[in-house]
Structure 1
Amino acid sequence: MHTETEPRGPHRLPHFLVIGAMKCATTTLHEQLARQPGLSMSRPKEPNFFSDDDRYARGLGWYASCFDGAGPSDLRGESSTHYTKRPNHPNTLGRMVRALPRVKLIYVMRHPIDRLVSHYFHEVTVGRVSGGLEDAVEEHPELIDYGRYAMQVAPYLEAYGPSAVLPVFFDRLAQRPDDELARIGRFLGAPGPMAWDHGLRPQNVGRERLRHDPLRNAIVRLPVLTGLRRRCLPRAWADRLKSHWKVKDTPPTVPPALRERLARAFDPDLERLGAMLGVPLDCASFREKTSGRPLSWARPGGRVRA
């Protein structure tokens, strides 16, 4: 475990973080930012350094190594959605403030019910959740908690101030990517204009993911089998096997009764988020209100409680 006296290597630590939310196009945004001149994004994409105890125990030297590919004048960034997964990672903010007292933060939000469905579908495909959507909502409170955006972002606003936290919305990012990327560039102080790469496919899409399968995992992870596979298996056969393991399902449709129940769960938090942004928000109006003009913090000083 590192200590507070360990050298921090500020020349290699990030200038900005994409802090979430999960399943809100953060991977796509990360890859788009990585394509911009003067910016360098971490590898791996999600170090999860401040949130995950095992990563934090590796020390700031390990964290700094995630930015080894950056040029001396590059703006360095990373994208870890675990940073807005309260209450599961309670130590995140304190650790972050100690190491990065002046970092800039980008928080991406999506209609909370859409985010929940995508999150559920992700967990099913990787084998962490089984059963139907309604049962999962009852058994896994994080499906709702991670979409309570006001609750998640309020501590960052209090710790860093509103000028250091940029609210970004999924629908506007999808509909006007060039405008939103330019806005992000201005927020970051990018050295030049930023241009969205329209040839890059959306990243981390559920239907492009490989479903959980013990046999495939064994083939991928065993070094001997990996070497044989790479040397002996023709590419066409490998692609055919990969397609066999690809997710064939589609995200579930939310039944009307469950949608109403989820709206009742999310609307109080959206009301608080709307007060912070100076615009009325609830599940019914979320897409309309967040896909139009860019929103900024209107009442960032207000305390928002879980």
Structure 2
Amino acid sequence: MAQPDFIIIGAMKCGTSTLQTQLSVQPGIFMTTPKEPNFFSDDEVFAQGMDWYHSLFEPAAVDDLKGEASTHYTKLPTYPDTIARMADALESPKLIYMIRNPVDRAVSHFMHEWSEGRLGKDMERGFRDHPELTQYGCYGMQLATFVARFGLENICLTSLEQLKTSPDQELARITAFLGYGRIPAWQPAQPAQNVSRDRIRRLPLHDLLIDSRWARKMRHALIPKALRQRVWQARTFGARPDIPPGLRTQLENTYKTDREELAVFFPGHEALQLCYSFAIQ
């Protein structure tokens, strides 16, 4: 039965979709559709069974490196059964964990939740009522159980900052970790994926009233372009919001502590410098 050779396990809003896209266009690397099956994390998906999961990899060529990318796998405490399920099903998969400046990640996460209609624009209230906005950026905490179960040698830490600074070099390092026997080529024509500032706030019956073909035709036929643009701007977050000073201090203190745990696993890693400028000033 077909199984993954590697999994991008997160983190959310750290560029995993961009990395997944870049890997998918390399010859000899196969990535699943859907991009995020979330099989080991989400109860309703896991209930579809291992045969369903194996079927995601069946289109791959015999010699392909096969991978998937599910950011739900590093969303503790939301999905507590992920690692046990993964350990039962997979012997020793290669795991890629992608991070970014955790404060920036938290803001992007907040903007994502706003666009999905789950939060208002009150940032302090959002972080108070939804601790996962902070928790998903505690990278050391999220990785600890993976290290314990699968071993540090099976985990590759990378960051959005590294991919932006040295895309070819970092992609080569990641694919070498995977055992890819070729020199990868970063494809600059591939656009960045899931950019928070471009997300549109979802409305009730969004797919029917906004994204359907007939709705688009009706808008263009009946609504002047200037009005359509004003409505679109009102439904996008626009510029990244400023974090209230007290909340920023709270987040930075939390992430400084978590950085120490991450540094135990990856001492001297470039991501510790690039992603935590607020902690090393």
Q: TM-score, normalised by structure 2?
A: 0.88
Alpha-carbon displacement from aligned partner over 1:101-147 (angstroms, at most 9, x marks no partner): 11100001111111100000000011111241111111101011111
**Distance change >3 Å, CA 42–CA 235, structure 1 → 2:** farther
Q: In the alignment, what sits opposite 2:258? A: 269
Q: In the alignment, what sits opposite 2:93? A: 103
Alpha-carbon displacement from aligned partner over 1:13-38 (angstroms, at most 9, x marks no partner): 11100000000000110111100010
> Where in structure 1 do 4 or more consecutive aligned residues deviate above 4 Å?
226-230, 234-238, 240-246, 280-285, 287-290
Contact 1:104 1:188 in 2 (8 A): yes
Counterpart-to-counterpart distance in 1, 2:147 and 2:219: 49
Alpha-carbon displacement from aligned partner over 1:266-293 (angstroms, at most 9, x marks no partner): 2111112123222499999744599xxx
SS of 2:163's equivalent in the other structure is helix
Aligned residue pairs, count: 273
Contact 1:26 1:79 in 2 (8 A): yes
C-alpha deviation, 1:229, in angstroms:
5.8
Verify: 1:78 aligned to 2:63, yes or no. no
**Distance change >3 Å, CA 163–CA 145, structure 1 → 2:** same
Counterpart-to-counterpart distance in 2, 1:50 and 1:113: 27
Verify: 1:67 aligned to 2:57, yes or no. yes
SS of 1:159's equivalent in the other structure is helix
Counterpart-to-counterpart distance in 2, 1:56 and 1:153: 21
Q: In the alignment, what sits opposite 1:92? A: 82
C-alpha deviation, 1:253, in angstroms:
1.2
Alpha-carbon displacement from aligned partner over 1:227-253 (angstroms, at most 9, x marks no partner): 7569xx399769x79965462522211
13, 19, 35: which one aligns with 2:9: 19
Q: In the alignment, what sits opposite 1:304? A: none
Counterpart-to-counterpart distance in 2, 1:283 and 1:137: 24
SS of 1:214's equivalent in the other structure is coil
Counterpart-to-counterpart distance in 1, 2:67 and 2:259: 28
Give % identity.
Answer: 41
249, 256, 277: which one aligns with 1:260: 249
**Distance change >3 Å, CA 188–CA 26, structure 1 → 2:** same
Counterpart-to-counterpart distance in 2, 1:53 and 1:215: 25
Alignment of 1:109-124 (within 5 A): 109-124=99-114
Alignment of 1:25-44 (within 5 A): 25-44=15-34
Alignment of 1:136-285 (within 5 A): 136-219=126-209, 226=212, 228=214, 233=217, 244-245=231-232, 247-279=236-268
Counterpart-to-counterpart distance in 2, 1:70 and 1:282: 32
Contact 2:161 2:271 in 1 (8 A): no
Counterpart-to-counterpart distance in 1, 2:58 and 2:188: 27
Q: Which structure 1 residue ranges, 5 or more long, are not aligned?
A: 1-8, 291-306
40, 52, 70: which one aligns with 1:50: 40
**Distance change >3 Å, CA 215–CA 48, structure 1 → 2:** closer
Contact 2:124 2:244 in 1 (8 A): no
SS of 2:140's equivalent in the other structure is helix
Q: Which protein has greater RCO, CA pairs closer than 8 Å, 6+ apart?
A: 2
Contact 1:281 1:289 in 2 (8 A): no
Q: CA RMSD in A?
A: 2.8
Counterpart-to-counterpart distance in 1, 2:66 and 2:120: 38
Contact 1:171 1:287 in 2 (8 A): no
C-alpha deviation, 1:54, in angstroms:
0.3
Q: In the alignment, what sits opposite 1:5? A: none
Instruction: Look up the equivalent residue of 2:91 and give its one-letter code.
Output: P
Counterpart-to-counterpart distance in 2, 1:16 and 1:280: 21
Instruction: Look up the equivalent residue of 2:5 and give its one-letter code.
Output: H
Q: Bigger CA drift: 207-216 or 67-76?
A: 207-216
**Distance change >3 Å, CA 262–CA 287, structure 1 → 2:** closer
Q: Which structure 2 residue ranges, 5 or more long, are not aligned?
A: none
**Distance change >3 Å, CA 285–CA 171, structure 1 → 2:** closer
Contact 1:38 1:191 in 2 (8 A): no
Counterpart-to-counterpart distance in 2, 1:86 and 1:116: 15
Alpha-carbon displacement from aligned partner over 1:173-207 (angstroms, at most 9, x marks no partner): 11111111000110001131111101111001112
Counterpart-to-counterpart distance in 2, 1:191 and 1:235: 50
